[in-house]
Structure 1
Amino acid sequence: MKTIELSVGAIDYEDTGGDGPVVVLLHGLLMDATLWDGPVAALSTDHRCVVPTLPLGAHRHGMSADADLTLPGIAGLVAELLDHLDLRDVTLVGNDTGGALVQLLMADGAARVGRVVLASCDAFDNFPPGLTGRTLFLAGKLPPRAFGLFMQQMRLRAVRRLPIAFGWLTKRGDAVTARWVRPLLHQPEISRDTVRILRAAAADTDLLVRAAEHLPGFDRPALVIWGSEDRVMPVEHARRLADLLPYGRLVMVDDSYTLIPLDQPARLAELIREFVLSSRLGNAGRPGR
């Protein structure tokens, strides 16, 4: 894991290196780069995978006091990372809240991005998404210290597996989710950042509705991948996203909830690899559903 100093503070990221096509993978709220360990293990044989741990509640370094921790601000941080690393023709992949960040970057032009993958993510009016999102937004009203105490419950597997926590997000990834909450439990500065993030998001719940208005203008290949058993991100949103994007198509993944990188990592890596190859060969037009 590497660390880079950006305008808001230090950000950790994984960079597998190499000369292959660049894939940048974004995680969701209360998650870190390890969400993508499975797909990266498969993709890194012939792709350069860059996976930041964004300041979304499982990060390791507190952000500066004046950091913009709105979702547009964090999307801007992704753009800043791409600039600092001078990454071009990027395949930008987002799951859960990471997919929301991808949509915000698409709406802003995404100059360094050659193609996108939206994998079971927040979209349209599903923000906050599901019981997990609504519970977090309510908890974000607490003072940071009280929020940290509230989140201590996440030490217990029985709590993590509840629908209000990670229970409806992943079928088989509890060991990873247990690690994600540790910074929040042990570092007061991470609790402070997370409360700021949640309050900023709760103040603008129409954000993705507005972003969707710009999606028909995204003129590059786009792949929408959705878990067939997703109970948090509605399947009809997958179809709407694919229909809005001029070069979009939809693929469903069986036996998966929202966090496809945990539930079906090999299948997700296969789909990303095929999509990158097809689009680079100029075959990523708008096929039939």
Structure 2
Amino acid sequence: MTTSELLGQPRQVAVPQGQLRYFEQGAGRPIVFVHGVLTNPDLWRNVVGEIAAAGFRCITPDLPMGSHELPMRPDADLSPVGQADLLADFLDALDLQNVLLVGNDTGGAVTQIMLSRRPERVGGVVLLPSDSFEYFFPPIFRPLPKLARIPGSMLLLAAVMRIRALHRLPILFGWVTKRPVPPEIVESYLWPPGRSAGVRRDLRKLLREVHPRHTLAAAEKLRDFDKPVLLLWGSEEKLFPIRFARRLAELLPNAKLVEVPDCYTFITEDRPEVVARHVVEFAGVMAD
């Protein structure tokens, strides 16, 4: 079965920022999966099928974070705040109600920012290890915003990322997964910036504006978000230490923290069955 078949039916929808590709599978309450920078819907390929089979409508947008197929309009705001508005615009475009958002990595930060600005369509949230508070980005990736301001840097970055010998280093996949990512998935994540100037432009727009001020400002407003939140965090997490999950659990009025062993940031790669089970259980409790 191909990755696209695992994700469901490929579709497109018009949003103010351009044409956005997404995948859809199943029927029932909508669950929208939000990936992070230099990943795409393939991050969720091992969980959406099981969740859809449990009676939910799984929707995975291909967000403009550097591994996407469709570049956005040249004038689109793709800063962290712009990405949050794009996510809200996507929910509007599909007229989704009482959505369960599931965010990971940069996608978790974008989710937090969106909740602080336009939470009306959201009924609950699952956050996997994500940027938050002063960790946007975590220290190992903090040079990226400065790099993104240098002309031509995204093409150089794309070339470096394609060196296979580097893939298990902490700067790429070494600290996001305990186990090797399949080569075809690595290619889907790291090849698009090298192929498309539009994708590199979109990636640069996001990276150069990443700053903790966005997540710190969102955190202040999250105190008022009273919908249920599940924090599903790796107990061995390297990029986003478990202390950030505990801070979020204390901040959010209706949050629960579950620690998952034997995984790093991309729990969907290391322990997909755990993610699917917890999302299904959480969505079921919300429905009750």
Same fold (TM over 0.5): yes
- The number of equivalent residue pairs is 276
**Residue 67 to residue 223, structure 1, CA distance change in 2 (3 Å):** same
Is 1:44 the counterpart of 2:52? The answer is yes
Is 1:227 the counterpart of 2:242? The answer is no
- Show structure 1 runs of 5+ residues with no match: 282-289
Q: CA RMSD in A?
A: 1.4
Deviation at 1:173, TM superposition (A): 4.6
Is 1:267 the counterpart of 2:271? The answer is no
Deviates more, 1:160-169 or 1:95-104: 160-169
| Residues 21 and 90 in structure 1, CA contact (< 8 A), matched pair in contact too | yes
Structure 2 partner of 1:285: none
Is 1:121 the counterpart of 2:130? The answer is yes
**Residue 274 to residue 116, structure 1, CA distance change in 2 (3 Å):** same
| Residues 243 and 249 in structure 1, CA contact (< 8 A), matched pair in contact too | no
Secondary structure in structure 2 of the residue aligned to 1:104: helix
Structure 1 partner of 2:3: none
1:71 to 77, 80, 83: 80
Deviation at 1:17, TM superposition (A): 3.8
Structure 2 partner of 1:62: 71
Structure 2 partner of 1:134: 142
Deviates more, 1:147-156 or 1:262-271: 147-156
| CA distance in structure 1 between the partners assigned to 2:197 and 2:69 by the alignment | 11
Q: For residues 1-289 of structure 1, what are the structure 2 equivalents within 5 Å? A: 1-18=10-27, 20-45=28-53, 46-131=55-140, 133-143=141-151, 145-175=152-182, 176-201=185-210, 204-281=211-288
| Residues 229 and 255 in structure 2, CA contact (< 8 A), matched pair in contact too | yes
Secondary structure in structure 2 of the residue aligned to 1:172: coil
| Residues 82 and 112 in structure 1, CA contact (< 8 A), matched pair in contact too | yes
Secondary structure in structure 2 of the residue aligned to 1:249: strand
TM-score (norm 1): 0.92
| CA distance in structure 1 between the partners assigned to 2:109 and 2:32 by the alignment | 14
Deviates more, 1:58-67 or 1:267-276: 58-67
Deviation at 1:205, TM superposition (A): 2.9
Deviations 1:141-160 (A, max 9, x none): 321x3421232122222212
Secondary structure in structure 2 of the residue aligned to 1:44: helix
| CA distance in structure 1 between the partners assigned to 2:64 and 2:241 by the alignment | 26
| CA distance in structure 2 between the partners assigned to 1:30 and 1:178 by the alignment | 11
Q: Give 4+ residue runs of structure 1 displaced > 6 Å after superposition.
A: none
- Show structure 2 runs of 5+ residues with no match: 1-9
**Residue 150 to residue 220, structure 1, CA distance change in 2 (3 Å):** closer
Secondary structure in structure 1 of the residue aligned to 2:126: strand
Deviation at 1:246, TM superposition (A): 1.0
Identity of aligned residues (%): 39
Code of the residue aligned with 2:34 in structure 1: it is L
Deviation at 1:37, TM superposition (A): 0.6
Secondary structure in structure 1 of the residue aligned to 2:188: helix
Code of the residue aligned with 1:53 in structure 2: it is D
